[in-house]
Structure 1
């Protein structure tokens, strides 16, 4: 049994942390397991210091239940959200609280060894600060801006990143930090972060990351859906007529990324003699009312919406959440919304929420930490807090 399977200790911890269950009786109803099995899972978590049980809740006809709570600040996962040109790190608690969040500029295209060296150095220092604050560190969660094999933690053929193909990021980083490491695609951890923090009551979501590149993560039945090999939700290389014969970094032509990514928009602006090197530059131009930038961003939104229209009709999610740096551009969000309402079945959009992500640059970081925390009940066992050892 893995730590994320229904009924596992990690699943119990997740239900309590999200507020879905507040007592053992709630867990029995939610999981459909025997009360004795639920009690064993709860006791395991209480003994490890990951849950507390105190106070009394409302009675449903019998004895008033004791309330379960996740003690904030006891156990944390270290988290890193990597972008093509930055490394963002922090620690994430069981209730979703972030600690010591920091970001530095770094070019991942320089190759894996310099990046892993810097990342290991920052994570090691971060771990020391957490322990000094009395927090137990259970491991590391990393979001990487490219395809990841979740089983091996290796990077698979990332666009525009020479030297990273088949790089064993999970194992190399674990060796350098001395901690267990979980690695996933950055859009997947963004989806986890937004779902956990903002939409925990929804069961089916598509979360798009629109920044320098484009990706998306899928939440199905309340859980991250990776597909057979971990590439579910990769919309960036869907071919579309508007992209014509434009060559893509993946080796194909006419991919969505060639006309709708931040990199594509910046390149188109430079062709017009307008200085734009990053998504920050694009957003500044849109805020200043620069007409070419506004038009290109709106067109990008329509292209993304055209691809998402197929996804919405096929998957029928409750919400489409637009994240990443470009989601701060209202013309892009409005264009995506307009195309989805125009092209999707009325039944698919009648109750569909189409919104910008709410957690900003921290969403991916929080999702990476949450992903690591969900692995607490794997073979490595549950970390015991200092208070629980006494």
Structure 2
């Protein structure tokens, strides 16, 4: 029993020292000892062990007004890496992140999506090219997460329903057979939520507003997921089930059909051209955007009535939400609010570009950090 207790203490010291360094830029031995209440020999022994395993490194010296300058220690953020991939109908975006969730590389490649080995081989080849081109060792890769427009089983192994891409039934091992590390699937909106939470960790509803509309719920610091993959799929809540716009899911009036970018933009428009015309006060564009904000406000308010947490506007749209547009949206919410609101619960997200690819890589990193 005493041996197990001692091993537990040693393991705890090792973990606490590593995570303290993870949350700081540089620390000396004495700083670590003071912060954790440990002896210098204990700190030294654990630092040596962490250095031997290449999890941390000596990083220069700290400034000192008196005496010798102390050696500084930092984590080695690139000790392990993770890959995130977002697949679209006509292209895929691949990203590499490190233990600090820093994006090290991004690669977009034109590969038409298909649920077959030819596509899986082509995508795996691009992943390998990105790693080799940047000098990353495949042995340092923890895994690859693939963000999918569809419902994913709890284990991340199977697409349960993927109507947009036509990928229902696709399995992660279709890709892992061509790569020397694990592959998991994630619902694309969950990926956006993971990317946002990594920047600012709060319980919240995250809206992923891109070509399609998606949503995810973060509660108690975790993204709500079930074995059926339906948690947070609020895009298919109908706000006009009888006479509303037809949705790809087969129903009418879903939030998707009023609040996605597909519902806002005309076929020849891009987000850039739309918001350029909006700034130039094009009357038709202003009217269309006003109607869009009305629908978005109604949808956000309905979600707010279910769960009273901040609601984050994430995805591609977030890049174009200015302070004045946010205040306009908040004003519309206030005008339809039944209950008094003491706080502005709608905010703009931080990760506008490649959020799905970034978020798909994060779970492998977080799992590794929890194991240290």
Range of TM-score over shorter length = 0.7 to 0.9
CA radius of gyration, larger in: 2
Aligned residues: 341
For 1:70, which of 65, 69, 75 is the aligned residue?
A: 75
Partner of 1:139: 143
- CA displacement at 1:167 relative to structure 2: 0.6
Partner of 2:217: 218
- Compare 231-240 and 283-292 and name the one that shifted more: 283-292
1: distance between equivalents of 2:290 and 2:23? 36
CA 25–175 in structure 1, closer or farther in 2 if over 3 Å, else same: farther
1: distance between equivalents of 2:240 and 2:314? 25
For 1:165, which of 168, 184, 205 is the aligned residue?
A: 168
What's the Cα RMSD here? 4.0
Partner of 1:126: 130
2: distance between equivalents of 1:11 and 1:247? 53
2:97 is aligned with 1:95: no
Report if aligned partners of 2:241, 2:254 keep a CA contact under 8 Å in 1: no
Report if aligned partners of 1:187, 1:215 keep a CA contact under 8 Å in 2: yes
- CA displacement at 1:148 relative to structure 2: 1.7
| Structure 1 segment 200-219 matched on structure 2, within 5 A | 200=201, 203-219=202-218
Partner of 2:240: 241
Partner of 1:61: none
For 1:182, which of 173, 181, 184 is the aligned residue?
A: 184
2: distance between equivalents of 1:312 and 1:11? 38
Report if aligned partners of 2:56, 2:75 keep a CA contact under 8 Å in 1: yes
1: distance between equivalents of 2:16 and 2:183? 19
Partner of 1:370: 362
CA 260–128 in structure 1, closer or farther in 2 if over 3 Å, else same: same
2:335 is aligned with 1:342: yes
- CA displacement at 1:159 relative to structure 2: 3.0
- CA displacement at 1:211 relative to structure 2: 1.0
Partner of 1:250: 249
Partner of 1:81: 86
Report the 3-state secondary structure (helix = DSSP H, G, I; strand = E; otherwise coil) of the residue aligned with 1:99. strand
2: distance between equivalents of 1:300 and 1:150? 34
Q: Identify which of structures 1 and 2 has the higher relative contact order when contacts are C-alpha pairs closer than 8 Å and 6+ apart.
A: 1
2: distance between equivalents of 1:171 and 1:305? 41
Partner of 1:329: 320
Report if aligned partners of 1:302, 1:335 keep a CA contact under 8 Å in 2: no
For 2:306, which of 306, 314, 317 is the aligned residue?
A: 314
- CA displacement at 1:68 relative to structure 2: 7.9
- CA displacement at 1:123 relative to structure 2: 0.9
- Please list every run of 5 or more consecutive structure 1 residues that lacks an aligned counterpart in the other structure: 1-6, 29-40, 58-65, 383-390
Report if aligned partners of 1:82, 1:186 keep a CA contact under 8 Å in 2: no
- Please list every run of 5 or more consecutive structure 2 residues that lacks an aligned counterpart in the other structure: 1-11, 38-45, 63-70
- Compare 329-338 and 88-97 and name the one that shifted more: 329-338
Query: TM-score scaled to structure 2, two decimals?
Result: 0.75
